[in-house]
Amino acid sequence: MNLLLAAVIAASTPTTAAVSTEVECRSRSGVDSSICLATLYAGAGRHEEAAAEFEKVAQLSLEIASAQGAPQVDRALAAAGNMWIAAGQPGKAALALDRALAGTWLRAEHRGEALLDRARAAEAQNDLKTARARVSEAAQTISADPFLWYFSAALAVREGNVPLARSAINRALSLAPEDPTILFEAGHVAHLADDNAGARGYWTRAAAADPAGPSGKAAREALAMLDVPLTVQSTAAAPK
C-alpha cells in the first residue's frame, strides 16, 4: 500500500480497515465517514471516487484544523493525487499533489512518495522536465524504493537518455532483482542499447516470474518480436 494512503487510513478509527459496506461508512459523520469511504473505494479499485473522498477528507480536516494546519490535510491531498493517477486523470493529480507539497506536513518518505507521484503525473502530461526534477527530489528520501528507479529508467527512455536509463534500471534491479515489471523494463532498456542478448535474458526472466500476469505477457510478446527477422524475403515470382 502507498505510504500516504496508509498514513491517512491510520488516522481513522480502529475499525475503518474492517469496514466493507458503504452503508456503514455513511452512518458515520464528518472526516471519519469520508476516510472510511475513501479507504473502501481505494481497496475496491474505484479510484476516482476514492480520490474525491480523499479531497473531501482534506477539506473537512482543514475546516477543523488549527491556524497552523493539520498533517491529515496534506496527507489526504497526496493520497487523492495518487488515486487521481490511478483513475487516469493526471491533471487533477497534479493539482492535488501540488497543494500537498506546498504544505509543511509531508516529511521524509511521505514527501518522497508524493514527489514521485507528482513526477508520474507530469510524465503522463508529457512534461518530462518537471517529471525529472521531481524524481531527483524524491531520490533524496526514498532512494531505497525500487519503483523510483524503475520510473526513472522509463522516464529516461522517453528522454532519449539510454545511459541514464541503464544506470537507473540497474539500481532498481539491485533492490528488486526478481520483480517482473522491473525485469521487463530492463529488457526494454537493454534492447534500446542494442544489447539483444541482455534483452532476451531479462524478458525470459520476466516471463518466468509472471507467467499469468501483464508483465509476463508483455515479455513473451517482446521475445516474439525479437525473434522476427530484420528482413523478409519476398515470395513474389521473379520477372521472366
Q: Which spans in the chain are helix H?
A: 3-10, 22-26, 30-43, 47-64, 71-86, 90-102, 108-124, 128-138, 146-159, 162-175, 180-192, 196-209, 214-226
pLDDT at 234: 42
pLDDT at 48: 94
Write 34-39 long-range contacts (CB < 8 A, 24+).
34/60, 35/8, 35/9, 35/11, 36/12, 38/8, 38/76, 38/79, 38/83, 39/9, 39/12
Tell me the pLDDT tens digit for each residue of 81-129: 999 999 999 999 999 999 999 988 888 999 999 999 999 999 999 999 9
pLDDT at 136: 97
Residue pair 223/200 in contact by the 8 Å Cβ criterion: yes
Q: Phi/psi at 72 (nearest 5 deg)? A: -65, -25
pLDDT at 61: 81
Q: What is the pTM of this model?
A: 0.81
Residues ≥6 apart with Cβ < 8 Å to 206: 180, 181, 183, 184, 187, 215, 216, 218, 219
Please give the Cα distance from 42 to 58 (Å, whole number).
16
- What is residue 118's three-state secondary structure? helix
pLDDT at 4: 54
pLDDT at 66: 59
Residue pair 54/80 in contact by the 8 Å Cβ criterion: yes
Which regions of the chain are under pLDDT 50? Answer: 1, 10-19, 67-68, 232-240
| Residue (of 212, 209, 162) closest to 189 by Cα position | 162
C-alpha cell belonging to residue 186: 530492463
Residue whose cell numbers read 528482413: 231
Please give the Cα distance from 218 to 236 (Å, whole number).
33
Tell me the pLDDT tens digit for each residue of 148-170: 999 999 999 999 999 999 999 99
For the chain, the first-to-last Cα distance in angstroms comes to 69
pLDDT at 30: 82
C-alpha cell belonging to residue 64: 477543523
